[in-house]
Amino acid sequence: MSDIDVSKERVNTSRAARSQQEMPRLSAEEKDDLVHRYHPDYKKEAYATLRFGPNKGEQTVHELARLLEGESPVPADFPALKPAHQVDILIIGGGGAGATAALTAKAAGAKILMATKLRLGDSNTVMAEGGMQVAVSPEDSPIRHFVDSLKGGHMANDRVLLKQLVEEGPSVAQWLIDLGVMFDREDDGNLSLRAGGGSSLPRLLRCKDYTGLELMRVLKDCVLNEEVEVLEFSPVIELLTDGKGSCTGAILKDLDNDRRIVVQAKTVILATGGIGRLHIQGFPTSNHFGATGDGLSITYRAGASLTLQDTFQYHPTGAVFPEAMAGLLVTEAIRSAGAHLLNAKGERFVYELETRDAVASAVIRECLEGRGIQTPAGRYGVWIDMPLVDQINGEGTLEKRFPNMIRQFSRYDIDIRKEPVLVYPTLHYQNGGIQIDAEGESTLKNLFVAGEASGGIHGRNRLMGNSLLDIIVYGKRAGAAASKRAAASDFGPLSLDHLSRFRKERSEAGVNSDVVSPMLFPDYVKKQ
């Protein structure tokens, strides 16, 4: 038998004895120590100091710093800015936050245009599996949700943003249900709730293990039914300003014919999502193909501040085998349903529902200290014992609650009902992003931001399920605030003055790299 098979057998044979085993929780000090020692956010050599711009002197990872300090694809001699579209609101991004903002703005009577890099709906929203946290049970409360999220975020969360997030949870969940989202229910018809890591009570609403896909199915249908004008395959490449600190539109790139499209807008909502495809520190990612942080670089160039741009979430359980699945999520909901994590010796090494930063750090520790299992492709991982879920909850549980997970692995002849699989942290989420105020407005006037592109709500570590909530709460807030602003505004002049300032600062800071941002697609695509 190979080493992998021997180790796997240990997991299979110890299952029954382990099933009732309690795992001690980490004390606050132990957790702090673990995270500081092993979490990628604390790896000093992975970080650079930003040399100019709104966050000059602050740190972020090299991969992001390169893009923030990168050149614009728009040349200094760009021809006169003649708008092809004039709208109240330009919404950039076709995921859950953008779609929610579009529906809200449309309902408020605004004339809107949505621009998406890929197709409407191609986004991290559809990749979200495990659920959406909302305090709806009689024992629960938004205050409790607030405290859990603040603790999970290492107390670095923006309190105002977090308060709004948890307080508006129940009403946005009802809004989604009214639109047609089919959250799982118990036999008595009540919403079914599950626990997530770092939460003191079960508060995850979910649609089996494809919650985000179900949300996007409904939101996309609504956007189409409302006849929102959508320009697909038209990513943003630059913002436009009036030269005096207000955003007045954007330049898009038509991927079909490489033409530039100038849009004049009274307000802009950026919902461009995350950064997983930057593969920070070489990590694989759970993110969709277009998650290249485009919103961050164009916003930084236009002079808006970022916040917590030095912290990222590495989801503890990304698949590492088979190689074709590397980085794909094994939802936290599986651990919530009882699955154990085990090292090469078949030992549990962490309470599986600690916050994600702690669990990810523990997995990395096991692998660094020689207790990981090597895959044929040379990656390292630990076991996640999914058959235990059926043993604890009854046969058929995996099939009923995790059909997506079963299908994903079955494509490679792996039956998760019968055998454990190997996992390792995968780059999942940017905890920080563009700084926003309570209405979702950035520090650049008339530029609103919603969803993963924004920062502050989740502090230094987001809790499971707070992202699907965030995109809806802040999609709505941005949609409402941008509509109100647009109704009271005229179109502003279109200029690229901010680019001249940016280029001057860049040159004075001695930056002369040939990196062009936004990146739009992962660099391995360009090489093909």
Interface positions with ligand MEZ (CB under 6 A): 128-131, 329, 331-333, 464-465, 467
Minimum CB–partner distance for residue 165 and ligand MEZ (Å): 13
Which bin fits 109, alpha (ψ -120 to 50), beta or left (φ > 0)? Answer: left
Residues across the chain = 528
Minimal CB distance residue for ligand MEZ:
130
Identity of the residue, 128 or 228, whose beta carbon is nearer to ligand MEZ in the bound complex: 128
- Tell the residue number behind the tokens 């809790």, with chain if given: 463
Shortest distance, position 431 Cβ to ligand MEZ, whole Å: 11
Residue in this structure with the two tokens 């961050």, named with its chain if needed: 296
Select 55 or 331, whichever has its Cβ closest to ligand MEZ.
331
Question: Which strand (E) or helix (H) includes residue 15?
Answer: helix 3-18
Task: Please write down the long-range contacts of 162-166, taking CB distance under 8 Å and 24 or more positions apart.
Answer: 162/457, 162/459, 164/438, 164/473, 164/477, 165/457, 165/466, 165/469, 165/470, 165/473, 165/474, 166/135, 166/142
> CB within 8 A of 399, min separation 6: which ones?
406, 417
Among candidate residues 10, 39, 315, 340, the one labeled active-site is: 315
Nearer to ligand MEZ, 332 or 352 (CB): 332
Closest distance between ligand MEZ and the C-beta of residue 106, in Å? Answer: 27
Residues 6+ apart with CB under 8 A from 478: 97, 101, 104, 269, 271, 439, 440, 448, 449, 450
CB atoms near residue 505 (< 10 Å): 17
Cα 6 from chain centroid? 36
Smaller CB distance to ligand MEZ: residue 331 or 408? 331
d(CA 329, CA 426): 8
- Nearest approach in angstroms of CB 127 to ligand MEZ is 9
The least distance separating ligand MEZ from the CB of residue 273, rounded to whole angstroms, comes to 13
260 catalytic, yes or no? no
DSSP letters spanning 386-428: THHHHHHH-TTHHHHH-HHHHHHHHTTT--TTTS-EEEEEEEE
Contact call for residues 402 and 415 (beta carbons, < 8 A): no
Q: Which is nearer to ligand MEZ, 140 or 332 (by Cβ)?
A: 332
Q: Which is nearer to ligand MEZ, 300 or 402 (CB)?
A: 402
The answer to whether 223 and 213 have CB atoms below 8 angstroms apart is no
Residue 81 CA to residue 163 CA, distance in Å, equals: 41
* Residue whose structure tokens are 């970080």: 47
**Cis peptide upstream of residue 75 (ω within 30 degrees of 0):** no
Is 315 among the catalytic positions? yes
DSSP secondary structure code for residue 475 in this structure: H
User: Residue 27 class from Cβ within 10 Å (0-12 exposed, 13-18 middle, 19+ buried)?
Assistant: exposed
Pairing of strands 260-270, 85-92: parallel
Catalytic one of 335, 356, 458, 498: 335
Min dist CB 518 to ligand MEZ, Å, is 24
d(CA 477, CA 441): 10
Nearer to ligand MEZ, 297 or 311 (CB): 311
Least separation, in Å, of the C-beta of 331 and ligand MEZ?
Answer: 3
To the nearest whole angstrom, how small is the minimum distance from the Cβ of residue 392 to ligand MEZ? 19
Closest to ligand MEZ by CB, 248 or 331:
331
Task: Return the active site residues.
Answer: 315, 335
